[in-house]
Amino acid sequence: MTEQLTIAMPKGRIFEEAAELLRTAGYTLPPEFDDSRKLIIDVAEENFRFILSKPMDVATYVEHGVADLGIAGKDVLLEEERDVYELLDLKISPCYLAVAGLPGTKMNDVAPKVATKYPKVAEAFFREQGEQVEIIKLNGSIELAPLIGLSDRIVDIVSTGRTLKENGLVEFQTITSITSRLIVNPVSYRMKDERISAMVNALSKVI
């Protein structure tokens, strides 16, 4: 019998697109898989176990070995800097990280503030621009920060730009493009290399 692979995946859009990609690559996932509210789903036909989590936690599960593989956005990998290997760009859930704010506003010369879910990425970006900023870490509704005077700018994920527009914000700079990646625990990569390589090959053919 093939050894079990445990795969951590974020709930939501990435989960749906990744499930479709796995099916296209020839893996059997039951129809109810997509609608399940469980956090751990076993798929006996393929000897897979899926752990469903928040996007930021996927790389943590893989790094600590509770999951062999994970599907995580490049934004998470850049921010979390976990000890995992990136195997494949799955080219799903494309978006990008951008600097945004209220139109016609300048950065504060004295103490510029930037609000974001991505403090490491934001700090590195502004450092490369030669700008010293104060980073304010927020966990949700980043668009609020410039509207209530908390920050001059935000750094956030942009998919369609609709959320920015609806809140009267505009983009100033693009930081980097984001897609979802297949990542692996280094030990699992050695111990289960045959199964993992087979999955990489199957996915590569359909991307």
Q: In terms of domains, do 132 and 149 share one?
A: yes
Asked if residue 72 and residue 15 are part of one domain, the reply reads: yes
Shared domain for 89 and 185, answered yes or no, is yes
- pLDDT per position in the chain (207 positions), as tens? 578 999 999 988 999 999 999 999 999 998 777 777 889 999 999 999 999 999 999 999 999 999 999 999 999 999 999 999 999 999 999 999 999 999 999 999 888 999 999 999 999 999 999 999 999 999 989 999 999 999 999 999 999 999 999 999 999 999 999 999 999 999 999 999 999 999 999 999 999
pLDDT at 31: 78
- Return contacts of 120-125, CB within 8 angstroms, 24+ apart: 120/78, 120/79, 120/81, 121/75, 121/78, 121/79, 121/97, 121/155, 121/175, 121/176, 122/155, 125/99, 125/155, 125/175
Distances (CA, A) of 40 to 11, 30, 51, 76, 90: 11, 14, 5, 21, 22
Residues 152 and 109 in one domain: yes
Residue 159 lies in domain? 95-177
Instruction: Quickly tell me which residue has 């593989």 as its tokens.
Output: 69
Number of structural domains (the chain) is: 2
For residues 177 and 96, give the distance between their C-alpha atoms in angstroms, rounded to a whole number: 4
